Structure 1
Amino acid sequence: MVRLWEWERLRDLPFQVDLWLPGDSDFLHVGVRIRNPHEHTAPVYWWSNIAVPEGERTRVLAPADEAWHFGYERTLTRVPVPVSGSVDRTYPLRGDFPADYFYEVPDGARRWVASLDEDGHGLVQTSTDLLRGRKLFLWGSGAGGRRWQEWLTEPGTAGYAEIQAGLARTQLEHVPLEPGAEFSWLESYGPLSADPLTVHGEDWAAARAETESRLAEALPRTEVEDAYAAWRACADNEPGESLATGSGWGALEVRRGKYELPGTPFADATLGEQQRPWLELLEQGAFPEPRRAAPPGPSLVSAHWRDMLETASADPLTEYHLGVAQWHAGDRAQAVRSWERGLVLAPSRWPLLRCLAVAAGEGRQRDRAADLYAEAFEDLCAERGDDGEAWTAATVALGREAMEALLTAGRPAAVRAVWAALPEAVRQRGRFRLLEARLLIAEGDRAAARAVFDEGFEVADLREGAEILDEVWARLTDEPLPDTYNYRMRLRG
């Protein structure tokens, strides 16, 4: 058995994933456990994601007659399965644009989802009942979805869809985990073959029944339950050989909360440089001021750390981290006050200025946000100590945010100043080539902006649903968007 475990910092919870392949089975078993060692209820989110090959005759099946459709128009709509809008949506390539289909699996039904090809062969995933949600994500057959697939896979790779399984019905929900409680379940992944004529027939109920019948033969529901019971009996066993080590955040939390978490040891030996100041806050009651100029490092935002920051000395770096925790908790006004207090005596001003710039932007204070970003970036450049990873990451992140805020405020000269201060290697990154094109448009040099597109660039951190490439191209020309920049995930207009 292989065990993976870590402390998830956003939800502040430990989790473990155990994987094993029985010698007499074609099915990979995966036991998952999420524990809540705290005295408060925690909102939990989990989806297991499976990439499956996609062909013209690939069909995704699940035990449902309805689904919740979520596309990039950002609306959730209940639709029938399989046919919606005169199209059979269980065939991923029959949709034009990327979409999620969250299947409404009835209570009491066996939990499963399968992807079967034209010959009825493919992969099935099933689980114990706690993992109730099932989903199909498809890129669709449109040019944008095809471009995403091309970009995310190796050359010559066939297209793929995603079948998923989660704790809730949709990915817009969380499930409450009570204090001291845990969620645990077993998933099984394996090959499945079913009669292709029935699987691809017009009778959806028959197609589902055929698939579920073949699953029952390959892996009876009782075997999944038995495998779950057998796994739970050893879920607390301590792991043996260590193959790799994760972060030290779990060790810090165990030190703070004195938690007993059998089966998932978070050893003190994993504590590292990132945890060092937080360990000092825990043991000495004060957050140490840095010995040299450096980016502020990761923040912790859960209530117990926020309380410790509030009672610690009001030093600039403490106020920075306190403000981040307060912002995370929704107390934005108090966060701004913390950052403003820290700014008064801060030897390193740019982290606090950047936080205040974010707050101004969220408050629709466009000019104030631009002023603060410009000042923050100038201060970072004056303080920057080397070309190491931490400083480069800070320069990239703050430079991008500053340029975008200044463009929004209509200040091309200030944008050009930020651009000129960036390292040449950073200016050659795809995200910054796009920003350069936007800057050239703002300066009135549309020909030079078009040349940036003609030379070619790739925005490596492009987010799903982002339409910035479309928007910038439309400001340059009425010509169709070139395929290499076409990541459209919805119908334009």
Structure 2
Amino acid sequence: MTATLHLTTVALPSASVGPTNPLPPVGAMPEAPYEASTANLPDEIAANIAYGRVTSIHPYLLQDAYSRERSPAPMRLAVLENAHLRAEFALDLGGRLVRLLDKATGRDLVYRNAMFQPANLGLRNAWFSGGAEWNIGMRGHWPLTASPLYAAEITAPDGAPVLRMWEYERKRGLIVQLDATLDDNAPALHVRVRVRNPHPRETGMYWWTNIAVAQTPGSRVFAPATHAYQTQYDGSLGYVDIADPDVSRPASAPAAADWFYDLNRDRTPWIAALEPDGSGLAHVSSPRLRARKLFAWGDTTGGRHWCDWLGGETGAYFEIQAGLATTQYEHLPMPGGATWEWHETFVPLQVDDEARHGDWGSAVPVVEEAVLRASEATDASRLEAVADVAPERMLNIGAPWGALEAELAARIGESFASLPGVRFDRDAGEEGAYWAALLDGEGDADAAPLDAPASYVDGERWDQLLAGAAATWLTHYHRAVIAHAAGELPRAASLYEASLRQRRSPWALRGLAQARIAQGDADAGITLLTDALSLAADVVPLALELGAELLRAGRADEVRGLVASLPDEVRALGRVRMLDVRAALATGDRAAAGALLEERFEVPDIREGELSMSALWREAFPDRPVPEWYDFSMS
């Protein structure tokens, strides 16, 4: 069967990601479950951990408006298929490889989630489990994991189809291009990744391919290593012997943990997941993608809860991963104008040698021989031939930022070296129209509706451009947000005030409120947030911010009044109910707090590593164990 590439949809029980949060996240990044200690680590790893840390997700907006109510909804897929494999990519969800079917056995090689349920594990909040995810830029699940990518069909010289996906990652200013094709003569999916820093300045670089695999009691993971850097959800990062005790069986992990294998850099990097019958999946790459990792949820109430929270009846899973640096705490310096490339190959595996069941030292060489034999029988040269070919038949449109950033660079006389195999649409979507109009000086911002801006920009170059534009409430406001995200609080406050002098908007009021709070004037901040909410009463995140600041100021009675004033459908939201519980406890009304908690409500965007629900339960019911549905502890 000659390979084909086509578009289709599949209906899944789904909770919509929903609209983005209109409030720019100018504060700190979402808290990670833990931070790594650099004590006793090799100098290279310690230096990479210290380098390139990101303190804010701005200019992205958060995706936190989802619920846990699911109904059938279509997921758009690009499908590569031949006689050996069927590979399905979710074009509107970060290009995720959501299915890889081995036709010879009928097995799904990656964890194929039977539902779509966002949860708060991503850098922009919304993340979902399953398949193989491409993570670029900074530690965590990348900002576009629940957003569309550009996609096109490329025809190789031999007539075979190649799926190309690409985007511009705004935080690091990187262009990523992924080309995928199926091998003609062997069951293999080849992916060629190309990342370019189009700017003249250095930036931090990060990449991890995260591959979810269905977990059974007998699942076992192999990699060519004897030791690993193991981290658990307590911040420690220890160097451990992975054979003693044997950590290769994810179902036996006592708690959630990562094992970053210490690989020999002279050997081909690979990782494989096998079932007791010897079948499984191998992932092999070229040397640049040199790191490998195993993640397991572990056998704790919280770990099991998270696995069920993300996949429901699909069942348990673990992840095998591949990255550029030894651990996921590291960022690497990428020079201006640099291009980094590598190949990744996914192959079904069958290891019949009974030594696979043996101890680590005897099993790994047997699995390695099978992995290398399977991968060496494949041919990825087709991807080299098409790497620079311009997109042909477009399959999907992404965001305008690659084009807007190129235009900005041209306006200020800076280079922007794009990749030859990609093109960006300046007018794509609401964001493109919004910024194109602003750049072109179209429309009267002071007469337009006070709708929330479609998106935001970041950095000195955008500030320079906006400073030269017509001075409106909107240009002052955007410059204020740029300054705020950069930590320049006095300048941000001055620009917010300039915006408010021209036009009173809830967005500038909120920004000035957060600047005043950061400067230590909580009372002024609360007054400003109250004013902002009066102008945008339907913006739930504003109410939550006001409630949180009132609580911090010891004004819990006002929080209870605020919650009582909200519409019924807003009071029913998980974060609002949590705010109500906190306010009740702060006023000493433990009975009211307990009654709310006993209603067993859900907080759909509870953060990975966040233990607030169990903490509230213990405060309300100090003599009762935390119910499983509130227990998200992973250690």
Q: Does 1:188 align with 2:345?
A: yes
Q: Which amino acid aligns with 1:252?
A: L
SS in 2 for 1:233: helix
**How many angstroms apart in 1 are the aligned matches of 2:331 and 2:480?**
26
What residue is the counterpart of 2:364 in the other structure? 208
Aligned partners of 1:412 and 1:439 also within 8 Å? yes
Change (3 A) 1:257 1:21: same
What residue is the counterpart of 2:203 in the other structure? 42
Q: Which amino acid aligns with 2:473?
A: P
What residue is the counterpart of 1:389 in the other structure? none
Give 1:309's match in structure 2, choosing from 466, 486, 505: 466
What residue is the counterpart of 1:435 in the other structure? 579
Could you say which structure has the higher strand fraction? Answer: 2
Give 1:14's match in structure 2, choosing from 169, 175, 179: 175
> 1:373-398, CA deviations, whole angstroms, 9 ceiling, x for partnerless residues?
453244333355xxxxxxx5xx1222
Shift of 1:291: 0.5
Q: Which amino acid aligns with 1:488?
A: S
> 1:173-224, CA deviations, whole angstroms, 9 ceiling, x for partnerless residues?
112222222111111112112246422322x23222111100122112xx66
Aligned partners of 1:118 and 1:196 also within 8 Å? no
What residue is the counterpart of 1:400 in the other structure? 544
Shift of 1:21: 1.3
What residue is the counterpart of 2:329 in the other structure? 172
**How many angstroms apart in 2 are the aligned matches of 1:112 and 1:436?**
50
Give 2:626's match in structure 1, choosing from 481, 488, 491: 481
Aligned partners of 1:278 and 1:287 also within 8 Å? no
Q: Which amino acid aligns with 1:158?
A: G
**How many angstroms apart in 1 are the aligned matches of 2:200 and 2:446?**
31
Alignment of 1:284-295 (within 5 A): 284=441, 288-289=445-446, 291-295=448-452
Aligned partners of 1:357 and 1:370 also within 8 Å? no
Relative CO higher for 1 or 2, CA cutoff 8 Å, sep ≥ 6?
Answer: 2
What residue is the counterpart of 2:400 in the other structure? 248
What residue is the counterpart of 2:164 in the other structure? 3
Q: Does 1:354 align with 2:510?
A: yes
Alignment of 1:118-129 (within 5 A): 118-129=276-287
Q: Does 1:62 align with 2:223?
A: yes
What residue is the counterpart of 1:456 in the other structure? 600
Give 1:75's match in structure 2, choosing from 212, 217, 236: 236
**How many angstroms apart in 2 are the aligned matches of 1:360 and 1:67?**
46
Shift of 1:150: 0.9
What residue is the counterpart of 1:410 in the other structure? 554
Name the TM-score, length of structure 2 as normaliser. Answer: 0.69
Shift of 1:343: 4.0
What residue is the counterpart of 1:388 in the other structure? none
Moved more, 310-319 or 281-290: 281-290
**How many angstroms apart in 1 are the aligned matches of 2:423 and 2:590?**
58
Q: Does 1:233 align with 2:385?
A: yes
> 1:88-110, CA deviations, whole angstroms, 9 ceiling, x for partnerless residues?
22222222221222112121111
Give 1:335's match in structure 2, choosing from 475, 478, 492: 492
Shift of 1:479: 0.8
Q: Which amino acid aligns with 2:619?
A: R
SS in 2 for 1:56: coil
Q: Percent identity?
A: 38
Moved more, 92-101 or 124-133: 92-101
What residue is the counterpart of 2:88 in the other structure? none
What residue is the counterpart of 1:387 in the other structure? none
What residue is the counterpart of 1:296 in the other structure? 453
What residue is the counterpart of 1:382 in the other structure? 535
**How many angstroms apart in 1 are the aligned matches of 2:222 and 2:518?**
43
Alignment of 1:91-106 (within 5 A): 91-106=249-264
Change (3 A) 1:192 1:172: same
Unpaired segments of 5 or more residues in structure 2? Answer: 1-161, 411-415
> 1:411-459, CA deviations, whole angstroms, 9 ceiling, x for partnerless residues?
1222124323433222212222222222222233322222222222111
Shift of 1:330: 4.5
> 1:3-40, CA deviations, whole angstroms, 9 ceiling, x for partnerless residues?
11111111122211122112322111111111111111
**How many angstroms apart in 2 are the aligned matches of 1:396 and 1:309?**
29
**How many angstroms apart in 2 are the aligned matches of 1:106 and 1:332?**
47
SS in 2 for 1:304: helix
Shift of 1:318: 2.3
**How many angstroms apart in 2 are the aligned matches of 1:451 and 1:250?**
51
**How many angstroms apart in 1 are the aligned matches of 2:495 and 2:183?**
55
Change (3 A) 1:195 1:323: farther
**How many angstroms apart in 1 are the aligned matches of 2:191 and 2:330?**
23
Aligned partners of 2:391 and 2:421 also within 8 Å? yes
**How many angstroms apart in 1 are the aligned matches of 2:553 and 2:485?**
26
Shift of 1:301: 0.7
Aligned partners of 2:167 and 2:175 also within 8 Å? yes
**How many angstroms apart in 2 are the aligned matches of 1:337 and 1:487?**
42
Shift of 1:332: 4.4
Moved more, 140-149 or 331-340: 331-340
Shift of 1:353: 3.4
Shift of 1:163: 0.9
SS in 2 for 1:134: strand
**How many angstroms apart in 1 are the aligned matches of 2:351 and 2:512?**
59
**How many angstroms apart in 1 are the aligned matches of 2:218 and 2:559?**
50
Unpaired segments of 5 or more residues in structure 1? Answer: 385-391
After superposing on structure 2, the runs of 4+ consecutive aligned residues of structure 1 that deviate more than 6 Å are none
Aligned partners of 1:119 and 1:196 also within 8 Å? no
Could you say which structure has the higher helix fraction? Answer: 1
Moved more, 338-347 or 42-51: 338-347
Aligned partners of 1:285 and 1:308 also within 8 Å? no
**How many angstroms apart in 1 are the aligned matches of 2:490 and 2:276?**
58
Give 1:446's match in structure 2, choosing from 574, 585, 590: 590
Q: Does 1:217 align with 2:217?
A: no
Shift of 1:75: 2.9
What residue is the counterpart of 1:372 in the other structure? 525
**How many angstroms apart in 2 are the aligned matches of 1:287 and 1:43?**
38
Change (3 A) 1:169 1:303: farther
SS in 2 for 1:317: helix
Shift of 1:300: 1.0
Give 2:312's match in structure 1, choosing from 154, 157, 160: 154
Shift of 1:46: 1.4
Q: Which amino acid aligns with 2:254?
A: D
Aligned partners of 2:513 and 2:528 also within 8 Å? no
Q: Which amino acid aligns with 1:122?
A: G
**How many angstroms apart in 1 are the aligned matches of 2:588 and 2:577?**
17
Q: Does 1:90 align with 2:243?
A: no
What residue is the counterpart of 2:53 in the other structure? none
**How many angstroms apart in 2 are the aligned matches of 1:142 and 1:454?**
23
Give 1:109's match in structure 2, choosing from 264, 267, 271: 267
